[in-house]
Amino acid sequence: MSVGLLSLLLLGLAALGFGLGRQRAIASVNGDARGLHSLPQYYGSSVALFTAVPAFLLVLVWLIVQPVVIESTITGMILPEDIGDGSTRELVMSDVRRIAEGIDVLVANGATGDEIAALVADPVALKARLGDAGVALAADINPHVATASAAYRGEVAMGRTMMSVAALALAVAGFLFAALRVTPQFRARNVVESFIRVLLIGASSVAILTTIGIILSLVFESWHFFQIYPAKDFFFSLTWSPKFGGGSDLGIWPLLWGTLYVSFIGLLVAVPVGLMAAIYLSEYASPRVRSVAKPALEILAGIPSIVYGLFALMTVGPFLRDYFSQPLGLGESSSSVMTAGIVMGIMLIPYVSSLSDDIINAVPQALRDGSYGLGATQSETVKQVVFPAALPGIVGAVLMAASRAIGETMIVVLGAGAAAKLSLNPFEAMTTVTVKIVSQLTGDTEFASPETLVAFALGLTLFVFTLGLNILALYIVRKYREQYE
Amino acid sequence: MTDVIAGAVPAAKSLIEPDARTRARNAAERRFRMMGIAAILIGLLALVTLLASVLGNGLSAFRQTYIEMAIPLDAAVLDKAGDRDPEKLAKVTTLGYGKLIEASLEQMLADRGVDTKGQTAKQLMGLLSKEAASDLRQMVLAKPDLIGTTVTFPALANGRVDGFFKGRVTMESAARDSNISPEQLEVAVLMKEAGVIKTSVNWAFLTNPDASELRPESAGLGVAILGSAYMMVIVLVLSLPIGVAASIYLEELAPKNRWTDIIEINIANLAAVPSIVFGILALALFINFLGLPQSAPVVGGLVLTLMTLPTIIIATRASLKAVPPSIRDAALGVGASKMQSIFHHVLPLAMPGILTGTILGLARALGESAPLLLIGMVAFVKDYPSSPPEGFFDPASALPVQVYSWTQRADPAFAERASGAIIVLLVFLMTMNALAIVLRRRFERRW
């Protein structure tokens, strides 16, 4: 039974439960709803909820757990000698899955069960048949692998059936349990409300689960990486030259340098411009100017980063190359730290300005009035009164902008280049942590080589960096914030 | 106030004439103001340059050069048996159709009196896209009745010819180009004068799937738009209920304790996690661990849901907070339970704000590309995904990722396509944002 059909069935059962629960409640008081503890629909809802929700949860958990369980039993069927030279258990397992899918194709094309059994016993014929069906396999099929695939297929099918049976049984059990509870004294509303409350708590913990998922996947795969590549070299080596085939140098410093350099230039553009724009908008601009300029700047914030990336690639890069780096003899490449940095700065302007705008507006008017009363000009007030009062918030905003700059991907992928080097020349192409995560993980990836797994270690570094900056920003804002009133 | 300042600043000589110090302070004031204006102007200039660059590079993607010709669909070639059996019709390859086109092209050029400057038939065919024959084949297979008649067929021109009429390819660049020669372009100019080559609106750009490296002229956004739409459906269906449920709990029901504190800090931090980290999560969790297929909209939708949730939760909580407590008190006062007061009164009143936040969150998710790169959405996908729900598991592309993969190709015609795709993306985003603004203006209440 497919998952879609099963879901429909469960939903139908739940709808039936709603009708039945409601009817039973009304019938139990001979049609006079005043005799019930709760409104009739609560009785219906209680039956529907108890029918559908546990069953759906079971299906969800089953779908997640089943592949893991099957994987582990099937992996046990493959003996060490089945794993050829240069191969790994994972590769053999992926062969097993592929063959199982191929057999599914054969069955869909009309092969009978006996034919399949015969084919499994004869790997050479199996390979030929699979090839005819469009499932090409590189190596010959080992007999063990063939039986493992057949077992895999059997277990997957059995798991599916068992899941359907279990889910339906649970649904019916919930249905009966809830339906039998329907009496005039049954506190249906309270039950339904506590049920919904549990669902709401579940929804709010999705955020926690996401974080746990991120941390687990990063730490787990990074740990794998550090098993096959020394952590010392990763953290202290100054060269980055991945070679698919072994013997790579995977030092993080060239990438970190590129990241920090690009972010630094980005902030160099964004902080003065964004801050001055915020000051002008909140202190000087007339309401009319503000009502035009502020949304216009916010449009910049709504533009996706791929657009900025394309802008860097097609406009800013060639412009900088033709008018600055080539005439000055600083570089030949249109993708450079400068290109990515300037475009990133443009992207960050609205971020800095809208955060600073809020902070500057939060400085009480009394401080300004006091300053004007002493004879200060507006700019002196801004520089000597408003700015110091808003400083913690502004530092926080800049740190958050920095964290965004470090994590930004598309602009640097398209604008900064791919060459990992440690250089001071901003017109040279350099690369960043995010660029390398993308380049190591796109295309055909094999999760056993350090060249692929290094991306997870890079991701962990990135995560720690940005999280640290954000926490630091929060800390500064909380600790140094002036509390007015 | 004991500082002696009288000696430091000489008393002003005149009340009308400002002294040097005042002038300096006023000048500093003006400079500061100018800096503010300059900052705003820099921001606006960046916005204008950005939009102008995208529009300037991309608008031409919506026009396409076609070579229009009448093609007699000879039954003797296309349907030897004469029974219009689709299986037998499908046996005729694009090569056969290419010969038909070649003959008609020569015929037409002779009829119109276009000087072919001694170009061979093969060189003349070079003016046409390699996709033209397969387009014609598709047309015939879709409508076998056409066989035996003469159809007017607008054949796609080669990307270089297209680029020549759009100003991207010049005679000089053609001389260095192995795909086109200046002589061929001269013939193309004559054909244009004879009215054979036409430029018209390129609807195929919105509907066609991606095309291979050598055929930029037929590359379109069909699969990408469909893939993005699928993902948005998944994001909407998952993130709206989960986000609203989480916000209701945190804002209305949660006791103030350690656990809710952790959840709140968590949500704030999740909103600041770089998008590429979500891509790594999707790769490790959904693809490696759960074995979901690569390049599938379902994986993209799930990861974008996780990314959008914090945005939606923050927006929803703000609009729940904006509903005045008196509404809750009134509901509780007439005997509603806490849940009833929330679901019957607070939530409907907060709905416009929630929807606005959701649309803005969706707009963000639509433009997101970095996590999708990692889950294999950059793969070349030529087949449309089937209809949902199976289609959610078929390989597809997404708008922003399509832009990225076009920028990675060598032919500059793809750069034009990439900018065109950005225009499509921006139009979608503008529509969504405008919808959010309208919703807010119309329905949002101030208490």
Residue B31 in any domain: the answer is no
Looking at residues B193-199, what average pLDDT do you find? 82
At residue B152, φ and ψ (nearest 5 deg) are: -90, 115
In terms of domains, do B145 and B273 share one?
Answer: no
Query: Which residues lie closer than 8 Å to A134 by C-beta, 6 or more apart?
Result: A105
Copy the structure tokens of residue A195: 């049920």
Copy the structure tokens of residue B123: 């060189």
Residue B379 in any domain: the answer is yes
A104-153 tens-digit pLDDT? 777 777 777 777 777 777 777 777 777 776 666 666 677 777 788 888 88
Split at pLDDT 50, 70, 90, the class of A245 is low
Which pLDDT does position B257 carry in this prediction? 85
Looking at residues B100-109, what average pLDDT do you find? 83
Split at pLDDT 50, 70, 90, the class of B4 is low
The count of residues in chain A is 485
Residue A418 contacts B where some CB pair is shorter than 8 Å? no
Q: Which residue has the tokens 């013997």?
A: A247
Residue of chain B whose Cα is closest to the Cα of A2: B390
Residue of chain A whose Cα is closest to the Cα of B421: A307
More confident residue, B93 or B52: B52
Copy the structure tokens of residue B382: 């030529």
At residue B150, φ and ψ (nearest 5 deg) are: -110, 120
State yes or no: pLDDT of B1 exceeds 50. Answer: no
State yes or no: pLDDT of A247 exceeds 90. Answer: no
Shortest Cα distance from A456 to chain B (angstroms)? 7
Put simply, the answer to whether A296 touches B43 (Cβ < 8 Å) is yes
* Positive or negative torsion for Cα B203, B206, B209, B215: positive
In terms of domains, do B362 and B274 share one?
Answer: yes
CA distance B238 to B235: 5
* Cβ(B149)–Cβ(B219) below 8 Å: no
* Cβ(B99)–Cβ(B123) below 8 Å: no
CA distance B370 to B400: 9
In terms of domains, do B232 and B191 share one?
Answer: no
State yes or no: pLDDT of B412 exceeds 50. Answer: yes
In terms of domains, do B273 and B153 share one?
Answer: no
Looking at residues A35-56, what average pLDDT do you find? 90
In terms of domains, do B261 and B408 share one?
Answer: yes
* Cβ(A53)–Cβ(A199) below 8 Å: yes
What is the full DSSP assignment across A169-224? Answer: HHHHHHHHHHHHH--TT--HHHHHHHHHHHHHHHHHTHHHHHHHHHHHHHHHHHHH
Which pLDDT does position B366 carry in this prediction? 93
Residue B34 contacts A where some CB pair is shorter than 8 Å? no
More confident residue, A332 or B349: B349
More confident residue, A327 or A128: A327
User: Which structural domain range is residue B111 located in?
Assistant: 62-202
More confident residue, A309 or B70: A309
Residue B185 in any domain: the answer is yes
In terms of domains, do B232 and B97 share one?
Answer: no
Residue to mutate among A63, A70, A192, A204, with most B CBs inside 10 A, is: A204
Looking at residues B60-73, what average pLDDT do you find? 85
Peptide bond into B72 cis (omega under 30): no
CB within 8 Å of chain A, chain B residues 351-370:
363-364, 366-370
H or E element that contains B200: strand B197-201
A vs B: CB pairs below 8 A: 259
In terms of domains, do B197 and B337 share one?
Answer: no
Residue B54 in any domain: the answer is no
The closest CB to that of B46, out of A64, A204, A346, belongs to A346
* Cβ(B301)–Cβ(B231) below 8 Å: yes
* Cβ(A433)–Cβ(A259) below 8 Å: yes
What is the full DSSP assignment across B263-294? Answer: HHHHHHHHTTS-HHHHHHHHIIIIIIIS-PPT
Which pLDDT does position A401 carry in this prediction? 93
* Cβ(A92)–Cβ(A144) below 8 Å: no
Q: What share of chain A is helix, strand, coil (3-state, %, to 5)?
A: 75, 0, 20
Q: Give the mean pLDDT of chain A.
A: 86
H or E element that contains B77: helix B75-78
State yes or no: pLDDT of B233 exceeds 60. Answer: yes
Residue A299 contacts B where some CB pair is shorter than 8 Å? yes
Copy the structure tokens of residue B165: 């009429």
Put simply, the answer to whether A315 touches B306 (Cβ < 8 Å) is no
Q: Which residue has the tokens 């869909």?
A: A108
User: Residue B298 belongs to a domain with what CATH number?
Assistant: 1.10.3720.10
CB within 8 Å of chain A, chain B residues 371-410:
373-374, 376, 378, 389, 400, 403-404, 407
Residue B343 in any domain: the answer is yes
Residues of chain B neighbouring A308 (CB-CB closer than 8 A): 50
Which pLDDT does position B2 carry in this prediction? 52
- Choose the final residue of a domain: B167, B202, B237: B202
The closest CB to that of B47, out of A197, A299, A304, belongs to A299
In terms of domains, do B158 and B255 share one?
Answer: no
In terms of domains, do B194 and B253 share one?
Answer: no
| Count of beta carbons in the 10 Å neighbourhood of residue A129 | 20
In terms of domains, do B142 and B237 share one?
Answer: no
CA distance A451 to A247: 10
Which pLDDT does position B307 carry in this prediction? 92
CA distance B91 to B148: 17
Query: Percentage of chain A with pLDDT > 90?
Result: 40
Query: Percentage of chain B with pLDDT > 90?
Result: 35
What is the full DSSP assignment across A47-70? Answer: HHHHHHHHHHHHHHHHHHHHHHHH
User: What is the CATH T-level fold of the domain A240-480, as seen in this structure?
Assistant: MetI-like fold (1.10.3720)
CA distance A53 to A185: 24
Residue B162, amino acid: D
Q: Would you kindly state where each structural domain of chain A is located, as residue ranges? A: 3-203, 240-480
Lowest mean pLDDT across A93-102, A223-232, A327-336: A93-102
Query: In terms of DSSP bridges, do strands A240-241 and B197-201 run parallel, antiparallel, or are they unpaired?
Result: unpaired
Put simply, the answer to whether A310 touches B288 (Cβ < 8 Å) is no
Put simply, the answer to whether A441 touches B283 (Cβ < 8 Å) is yes
- Reference A219, options A470, A467, A472, A463; nearest CA is A463
Q: Which residue has the tokens 């699979």?
A: A130
Query: Which residues lie closer than 8 Å to B84 by C-beta, 6 or more apart?
Result: B144, B145, B147
- Choose the final residue of a domain: B147, B169, B202: B202
- Choose the final residue of a domain: B145, B168, B202: B202
State yes or no: pLDDT of A204 exceeds 80. Answer: yes
Distances (CA, A) of A364 to A356, A360, A361, A371, A389: 15, 9, 8, 12, 9
Residues of chain A neighbouring B373 (CB-CB closer than 8 A): 409, 438, 441-442
State yes or no: pLDDT of A4 exceeds 90. Answer: no
State yes or no: pLDDT of B115 exceeds 80. Answer: no
Query: Percentage of chain A with pLDDT > 70?
Result: 93
More confident residue, A469 or A126: A469
pTM of the entire structure? 0.86
Residues of chain B neighbouring A196 (CB-CB closer than 8 A): 339
The closest CB to that of B373, out of A279, A378, A442, belongs to A442
Residues of chain B neighbouring A273 (CB-CB closer than 8 A): 39, 42-43
Which pLDDT does position A264 carry in this prediction? 95
How many CA atoms within 13 Å lie on the side-chain side of A154?
Answer: 12
Copy the structure tokens of residue A188: 């249906």
Residue B51 in any domain: the answer is no
CA distance B283 to B292: 10
3-class secondary-structure state, position B70: strand
Q: Give the mean pLDDT of chain B.
A: 85
Residue to mutate among A310, A358, A465, with most B CBs inside 10 A, is: A310
Looking at residues A411-418, what average pLDDT do you find? 89
In terms of domains, do B378 and B349 share one?
Answer: yes
Copy the structure tokens of residue B232: 């948005």
Which region, left, alpha or beta, applies to residue A139 given φ > 0 means left and ψ of -120 to 50 means alpha?
Answer: beta
Tally of domains within chain B = 2
What is the full DSSP assignment across A102-153? Answer: HHHHHHHTT--HHHHHHHHH-HHHHHHHHHHTT---SSPPPHHHHHHHHHHH
In terms of domains, do B185 and B86 share one?
Answer: yes
Lowest mean pLDDT across A23-37, A307-321, B28-42: A23-37
